[in-house]
Amino acid sequence: MMRIGQPSALFWVACLSVCVAIACISFGSVSIPAATIVESIRSGEGVYWTVISQLRFPRVLVAFVSGALLAMSGCLLQTLLRNPLADPYIFGISSGASLGVLGALVFAVPAYSIPFGFIGAGLVIVLVALIARRGADWNPYRLILTGVMVSAGLNALISLILVLSPPNMMKGMIFWMMGDLTYAQPRVWAGALAIVIIVFGVFFGRALDAMSLGSERALAIGVSVKRLEYVVYLLASLAAVAVVVEGGSIGFVGLVVPHMIRMTGVWSHRYLIPMSACVGGAMVVVADTLARSVWAPVQLPVGVMTALIGVPILIYLLNKRSDVRN
């Protein structure tokens, strides 16, 4: 069987992901044939052009960027913690962002929900870092335990807000927390953050490879481990927050996608991070398309669809890895 190099694999994965995203524009409560899409784009007018330009394309773009950010965040955190079960929500940062957004909704300032979400997440980022850092050391296990404890406390506050919120708001809040891109809008800063993380992975790929093998080996080749750990922690956290403040908690993407890429033999972060972005983006686009098509005109939470897609994939990967070891 012919093997292709990692640069070629990255190129074909990127092309396939873009093709999947474009194809998903055709699907929804009303299917639009490919010929009609081409004709609508060419003419720039008509009902179908309005649907494509104002509804379908922005939704696909938001879903792709969200999936890319989650997948890259999971990849970075698995490297930082050297834990294959790490995902973007392990530190409770998403809970902090959710608490900020829900607080803005409860206090009738929905226009400030995104700033409130970033404030809540920022406080958690600082709190977890301060508690986990003991002297000059930053132990990954201490970081995980701190994140789990902070997340549990914040989830209790979120449950309290849901219980005390007006009944007419509760359903919408729960739906949003399960992952919902219905009202999400494309954000320049989210796309810019995704590009920054990809560039970071390309230029610091060797340092990340060394860090994934342990701090001692990274130090042995001259990597500034402490500085790199802080940068990785910050980028991964910001990526998760950028998704949560727009579309709620979309699970399994950051956990499953990096493992999918590694199972193909790609371990270098120079290619692992960009490929994770492409596959994660395509996964969320497909999940969101199914969420708004399967039960049309009713839209399902995209987080439910990513879980339904991600769980079988993760079980398959675990079984495959067990077979390889045996």
Quick one: 98 exposed, middle or buried, by C-beta within 10 A (0-12, 13-18, 19+)? buried
Q: Taking the model in full, what pTM does it have? A: 0.92
Read off φ and ψ for residue 28, nearest 5 degrees.
170, -160
Read off the pLDDT of residues 222-261 as tens digits, 9 standing for 90 and up: 888 889 989 999 999 999 999 999 999 898 999 999 999 9
The answer to whether position 47 is within a domain reads no
122 domain residue, yes or no: yes
Tell me, what amino acid is at 201?
Answer: G
User: What percent of the chain stands above pLDDT 70?
Assistant: 95
Count up the domains in the chain and report the number: 1
Which position has the higher pLDDT, 149 or 296? 149
| Residue 174 covered by a domain | yes
Axis-axis angle for helices 269-291, 205-212 (nearest 10) = 90
Q: For the chain, how big is the Rg over CA atoms in Å?
A: 20
- CATH number, position 222: 1.10.3470.10
Q: Report the pLDDT averaged over residues 208-228.
A: 87
Domain contains 125: yes
Which residues, 6 or more positions from 281, have their beta carbon under 8 angstroms from its beta carbon?
A: 17, 21, 63, 64, 65, 66, 67, 68, 71
Residue 197 has pLDDT above 90, yes or no: yes
Q: Is residue 64 part of a domain?
A: yes
Give the count of beta carbons closer than 10 Å to the beta carbon of residue 231: 16
Tokens representing residue 198 in the block: 């990809």
Q: How far apart are alpha carbons 260 and 152 in whole angstroms?
A: 29
**213 confidence band (pLDDT: 50, 70, 90):** confident
Q: Note the pLDDT tens digit of each residue in 44-94.
A: 888 888 888 888 999 999 999 999 999 999 999 999 988 888 888 888 888
Domain containing 306: what range?
60-79+87-325
Q: Is the pLDDT of residue 96 over 90?
A: yes
In 27-139, alpha helices (H): 34-43, 47-51, 57-81, 93-106, 113-132
Q: Which amino acid is at 323?
A: D
Cα–Cα distance between 238 and 122 in angstroms, integer? 9
